[in-house]
Structure 1
Amino acid sequence: MEQRSDNSGNKKTINIWKWAFLILAGLIVGAAIWLAVQLQPVSVGEENTAPLVTNDDDLIFEVSTTKADVTRLTNEYLEKELDDQYAGFSFSLEESAELNGEIEVFGFPIQFSLYMTPYVLENGNLQLRGDSINIGSLNLPISFAMSQLSRQVDFPEWIVIDSENQFIIVNLNEFELENGTRFSADRINLEEDDIRLNIHLPVEAIR
């Protein structure tokens, strides 16, 4: 009598490997899409190029300060403004403007140090242009770190992060104290420790 071979076991093995391959391919494609999204530059806010608008009777004072004073004031303000979001972050002015902290990269917390050069813009706002970055043992672009910052930290509306062009803009012309006092930058020279700011004080604030 003729015997017929049973290929059902082979077919099951082939199907298992087929589905395993399809699942693996799907995971690889999904990871590639996720990575592409993470590497896309993300910008928050827009640079305000308008001049600072003040009243004719405002009092204007020029204040000269130091890197140490600006460092302390900036950290105190951001800590109060961002609350728990600023935990683990620190800002300092030395040879450059330096932002240290921790961001998540591919789901893991990574320490970073972002070094920037500050410039005073024509309208008295500030631009911090990214120069270099230390981010663990990874070799990642500055734009990536800025993108992750903009995704993970809710900065005040007057702080702009342009990760594509690798700079942070501080729109001082959008910042105002409760009594109406405004500020504009006049000069920043880190090498000479010479920082000058203009304080625009409305007369109503002293009456």
Structure 2
Amino acid sequence: MHSRSINGWKWAFLTLIGVLVLGCVLIFFLFSSAAGDSGDTGSQGGSTNGEFQEYFTVQATTGQLNQLLQEEAASEQVDIQFSGSTAEVTAGIDFLGRTIEAAMQFETEAVEDGNLLLTLDRVSVGAFSLPNQQAMSLLASQADFPEAVEVDTQNQQIRIRMNQITIGDDYSLRVERFQPEKDDIVFNVGK
């Protein structure tokens, strides 16, 4: 029988990969603890007084945000695109055997509390424009929104409460800057 020889390069490669992964994890924890220390004198590992404690920042371009939204909305048959400071949501509505395109345009704004505010600019179904007030009332009564989305029909606005959207182990988001027209989109991730 053949005796199995140990391939030295294989073990060297696996050891190198292990060291690199361990190094990346160590660097991540060092940076995340440094971000926690640079703020106020809050407690470690999360804030006990209800204030947001930032762990790291995520920067994205408008193209990256559009790609992420397309991937997430693909199963919903909805298209969401940012162009300049405008967000456009389009969807096909089946009516009498034909698909009619419905579109809503919103002006976007990051508000001071870290949330995102969308103000309705226009609504169209096919070639027809609809009154914004009635369209928002219909949207609020017919659509099933998550708890983090608040529809204000009076002011024709949708507030996305980013701090109520949880990721992983109770991490949440806050919008620091949201200027898609300048490719400047910055989110803070923390607890």
CA distance change for structure 1 residues 97 and 195 in 2, over 3 Å: closer, same or farther?
same
Query: What is the TM-score with the length of structure 2 in the denominator?
Result: 0.63
Judged with a 3 Å threshold, the aligned counterparts in structure 2 of structure 1 residues 188 and 117 are, in CA distance, closer, same or farther, namely same
> What residue is the counterpart of 2:47 in the other structure?
55
Provide the secondary structure at the position in 2 that maps to 1:191: helix
Q: Secondary structure at the match of 1:148?
A: helix
What does the per-residue CA deviation read over 1:140-195, in whole Å, with 9 as the maximum and x for residues that have no partner? 21222233333333121111222221111101121112311110001111221111
Match of residue 132, structure 2, among 142, 145, 151: 142
Equivalent positions of 1:135-174 (< 5 A) are 135-174=125-164
2:183 to 193, 197, 201: 193
The secondary structure found in structure 1 opposite 2:188 is strand
Q: Distance in 2 between matches of 1:165 and 1:59?
A: 31
What's the TM-score, normalizing by structure 1? 0.58
- Superposition pairs of residues 1-207 of structure 1, within 5 angstroms: 55=47, 58-78=53-73, 86-87=76-77, 89-95=78-84, 96-102=86-92, 110-200=100-190
Contact 1:125–1:172 under 8 Å retained in 2: yes
Partners of 1:147 and 1:103 in 2: CA distance: 18
Task: Give a deviation string over 1:122-144, Cα, whole Å, max 9, x none.
Answer: 11000011112332232321222
Return the alpha-carbon distance in structure 1 between the equivalents of residues 185 and 54 of structure 2: 20
Q: Distance in 1 between matches of 2:129 and 2:136?
A: 14
TM superposition outliers: structure 1 runs of 4+ over 4 Å: 56-59
Aligned positions, number: 140
Q: Given residue 169 of structure 2, which amino acid in structure 1 is its aligned partner?
A: N
C-alpha distance in 1, partners of 2:100/2:140? Answer: 16
Is 1:75–1:90's contact at 8 Å kept on the other side of the alignment?
A: yes
Give aligned-pair identity as a percent.
27
Q: Distance in 2 between matches of 1:130 and 1:163?
A: 10
The alpha-carbon distance between structure 1 residues 158 and 66, as it changes in their structure 2 partners (threshold 3 A), is same
Aligned-residue CA RMSD (Å): 2.7
- The structural deviation recorded for 1:58 is 4.7
- Give the structure, 1 or 2, with the largest relative contact order (CA under 8 Å, sep 6 or more): 1
Task: Verify the 8 A CA contact 1:130 1:142 in the aligned structure 2.
Answer: yes
Please tell me whether the aligned partners of residues 133 and 142 of structure 1 are also in contact (alpha carbons under 8 angstroms).
yes
Residue 38 of structure 2 corresponds to none
* 1:165 to 1:59, Cα distance in 2 relative to 1, 3 A: closer
Unaligned runs of 5+ in 1: 1-53, 203-207
Residues in 2 aligned to 1:101 and 1:134: alpha-carbon distance in whole angstroms: 11
- For 1:148 and 1:102, the matched residues in 2 are separated by 17
- How far apart, CA to CA, are the structure 2 residues paired with 1:179 and 1:129? 31
